[in-house]
Amino acid sequence: MALAQTWSVGLAGVQGAMVEVEVDLAPGVPTVALVGLPDAVVRQSVDRVRAALLNSGHEFPLRRVTIGLSPAAMPKQGSGFDLALAVAVLASARVVPAAAVRELVLLGELGLDGSLRAVRGVLPAVLAAARAGHREVVVPEENAEEAGLVEGIAVLAAGSLRQVVAHLAGKAVLSPHVRAAAAPAPPGPDLADVVGQAAGRRAVEVAAAGGHHLFLSGPPGAGKTMLAERLPGLLPPLDEQAALEVTAIASIAGTLPPGAPLVTRPTFEAPHHSATMAALVGGGSGQIRPGALCRAHRGVLFLDEAPEFPRAVLDTLRQPLERGAVTIHRANGSATFPCRAQLVLAANPCPCASAAGDTACTCSALERRRYQSRLSGPLLDRIDLRVTLPPVTRAAWLDGLGTPESTAVVAARVRAARAVASERLAGSGLALNSQVPGRLLRERWPVPRAALALAERALERGSLSVRGFDRVVRVAWTLADLEGLAVPGADQVDEALGMRLQRAAA
Ligand SMILES: [Zn+2]
């Protein structure tokens, strides 16, 4: 019998799924059959494996070779199966002992010269292998740090097929990769750099404390981008579970920085308005890659010059942001990625983007209104905080020169406010004010009627929708949490109302 089995891992969205690789050699005319829903890249794998074997001093068996990938129903994508295929072929030909590879997990793409190349998605793959009870995984050297993040499984790093074969044949030993102590992530940009802009600073603090989406309007140079970039620094660091999720997404997207394997800080993604739907949401040919929206999972998605984004693109964001996940469909399967991101939109007051007061702007009032209305109502309706930033005048700039509060100081208030909210929401399955449905908010945590007077008037006048009313109350709770109040009062409701209606008033 010339049958050998070993393991590799496929990816379904951000989850790894074990794939058993079987190779059977039978007498007859030399052919190769690949079965089990492989994509075009996996099909080419046979040619790469053949060349890599020959260039590593081995023969590709001149027999009837059947390669099976199971479970058959799961689509297999990418080049990560190469190493497992090559090793299974060698095991079926008894070049390496079949028993040595039976429970082994192998990941990596082969160069034609037999070198082992890095692949994407190693972290989720190794997590899946460890969960399935495998004790040992072989990965390309460049992926070793990433693979080493997973506990409970030995990681062997190899640079070539030759090294892997020598190890399995007992002629040389691949020593297990030793996990290096993680270097602390470098600090992000600091809020102390933002001079003046009290309203903007307040807005990012409230957004961070309650997890609210934010819309910043204002002339160029008002500091919209600076403020948005400083929001991730105000969010708490990622816990272990979140860090693994975010790192797994970066690994699949191919954006994991070398030498810094674990993402421990909330990320900041700022796609340009010319970005394609695939770049923004996810897609691509072959293996489905997560887009900016998913890479911002547990972090911040910043859309600068938001009215310049095609409306269809903005509308696409709505449902995933609400659901916290996005499913991408392709002919060869679909993939679901988490995308619990906080959205920050920024817009200039007019299409010519001149600083306010600049005589060069010739936009009419109508043109300005039309520009602003390019942002879809339903998307804007989901944004709790809308703040108009004034241009930074010389006087305001000099005024603010004192000592603006640093990220550390504001982040401490955010942390305290989040702790209060999560204690109040304990048992509801929610942790942030922005997540609480309006009905639940009214039933479980009513705000005294007297405090709501101004908001109710806005509702009656029609300047506030029912949904908007709920959002004002939600923000009022965040303001109360920041102040250390047990329940929002009129001051908090009024401030929240101001942050909701500012854009309409502008
Ligand atoms: Zn203009």
DSSP string, 158-213: ESBHHHHHHHHTTSS-PPBPPPPPPPPPPP---GGG--S-HHHHHHHHHHHHHT--
Residue 125 alpha carbon to ligand 1 centre in Å: 51
| Residue 368 alpha carbon to ligand 1 centre in Å | 7
Strand intervals (E) in 115-153: 116-117, 136-140
* Ligand 1 centroid – CA 316 distance (Å): 28
pLDDT score recorded for residue 184: 73
pLDDT of 503: 45
What are the average pLDDT values for consecutive 10-residue runs of the chain, which has 506 residues?
91 90 94 84 88 95 93 84 96 95 96 95 94 96 92 95 96 85 80 88 97 93 93 95 92 82 92 91 81 96 93 89 88 84 92 63 82 81 88 70 86 97 93 91 91 92 88 96 96 93 50
Ligand 1 center–CA 304 separation, angstroms: 17
User: Going along 36-143, which residue ranges are E strands?
Assistant: 64-70, 105-106, 109-110, 116-117, 136-140
User: Could you tell me the distance, in angstroms and rounded to a whole number, from the CA of residue 216 to the centre of ligand 1?
Assistant: 17
Q: Which residues surround ligand 1, an ion (CB under 5 A)?
A: 350, 352, 361, 363
CA of 226 to the centre of ligand 1 (A): 22
Q: Identify the pLDDT of residue 505.
A: 37
Q: Find the largest Cα–Cα distance for the chain.
A: 88
Cβ atoms 335, 17 nearer than 8 A: no
CA of 274 to the centre of ligand 1 (A): 21
- Ligand 1 centroid–CA 351 distance in Å is 5
